[in-house]
Amino acid sequence: MQVQSNGISLEVEERGPAGGEPLLLIMGLGMQLTSWPATFVRLLADAGYRVILFDNRDIGLSEKFEHWGKPDLLSATLLHAMRLKIPAPYHLEDMAADAVGVLDALGVRRCHVVGASMGGMIAQIVAVRYPERLKTLTLMMTTSGSRRLPGPTLKARSALLSAPRNPRDIESVIDHSVGILKVIGSPGYPTETADLRARLGHGIRRSYHPRGMGRQLLAVVAGGDRTPLLSKIRTPTLVIHGRQDPLVPVACGVDLARHIRGAQLELIDGLGHDLPEALLPRLTDSITRHAAK
């Protein structure tokens, strides 16, 4: 369903009992609400949570920002390297306001928030700007954005910034997406190629909008270092990070937990930058135990 949030239209879905404790999932860069594994969502719903999923702005079935045109990622990279201000059509703060607007549209006063990757960056801002809206916070495979921290491996960065051989051919786009997940995925819990193709193909057929992903990336790069904000987070926080994450290295998760007062840190061997099926019971158990405290 479409809801009005922060002045724009966002696509929202819900799972689980209507009377359950609300739990908001915020997805990462270029990823749709369908990118949350079905098993992950089902396990949270079976645990009694009212699971709220939505497409971030500029992706999936939510409102697009095509009037801003093609994002200039090369210029943004150069400006970032020179520590200059990066122009972006919107910022992570806007996306945090979007997330809170979803809660407003659904009549949810307080909830548990789980953010993955870019979604974890957005969730950090929600926790700082709108602390009264959170019961607990879970940050998965994400970072403060500090320049002191290691960045992606060259292979992971190259994969993320690459383009499909033929962006007009859906099979080519699926092949490209599978290739990215093979690079950044979990070495200890590899996903079969056929399963990856089926899952990614479903999302691509639902919506394929690379310019939106590019504009989201501008928002991430323009976001800068959130370290000074982290000490303001008072929401009980769980940080989950893979020891083998090539896109957001494990040092980023350790750094987050160190700067958020009272944060718990769970490091997982073999986990990369994805949500492998074999680890979903462990991940949902960690989240629900944290939410129950």
Neighbour-count burial of 99, counting CB atoms closer than 10 A to its CB (0-12 exposed, 13-18 middle, 19+ buried): buried
- Residue 188, CA distances (Å) to 53, 177, 248, 286 in order: 28, 20, 16, 19
CATH code of the domain in which 35 resides: 3.40.50.1820
Distance CA 52, CA 41 (A): 9
Cβ contacts of residue 67 below 8 Å, gap of 6+?
A: none
Q: Round to the nearest angstrom and report the end-to-end CA distance of the chain.
A: 32
What does pTM read for this prediction? 0.96
H/E segment holding residue 55: none
Phi and psi at residue 196, to the nearest 5°: -60, -45
DSSP per-residue letters across 227-259: HHHHTT--S-EEEEEETT-SSS-HHHHHHHHHH
Residue (of 263, 267, 254, 265) closest to 232 by Cα position: 263
Q: What is the total residue count of the chain?
A: 293
Residues 6+ apart with CB under 8 A from 135: 21, 110, 111, 112, 235, 236, 291
| 85 CB-side CA count, 13 A | 4
Task: Kindly give the confidence (pLDDT) of every residue in the chain, 293 residues in length, as a single tens digit, with 9 standing for 90 and above.
Answer: 999 999 999 999 999 999 999 999 999 999 999 999 999 999 999 999 999 999 999 999 999 999 887 887 767 777 666 676 878 899 999 999 999 999 999 999 999 999 999 999 999 999 999 999 999 999 999 999 999 999 999 999 999 888 899 988 999 999 999 999 999 999 999 999 999 999 999 999 999 989 999 999 999 999 889 999 999 999 999 999 999 999 999 999 999 999 999 999 999 999 999 999 999 999 999 999 999 98
Tokens 């009549």: give the residue.
107
E strand segments, the chain: 2-5, 8-15, 21-26, 49-54, 111-116, 134-140, 237-242, 264-268
Residues 6+ apart with CB under 8 A from 238: 136, 137, 138, 139, 263, 264, 266, 286, 287, 290
* Amino acid at residue number 55: D
231 φ, ψ (degrees, to nearest 5): -70, -15
Q: How many domains does the chain fold into?
A: 1
pLDDT of residue 72: 74
What domain range includes position 170?
2-291
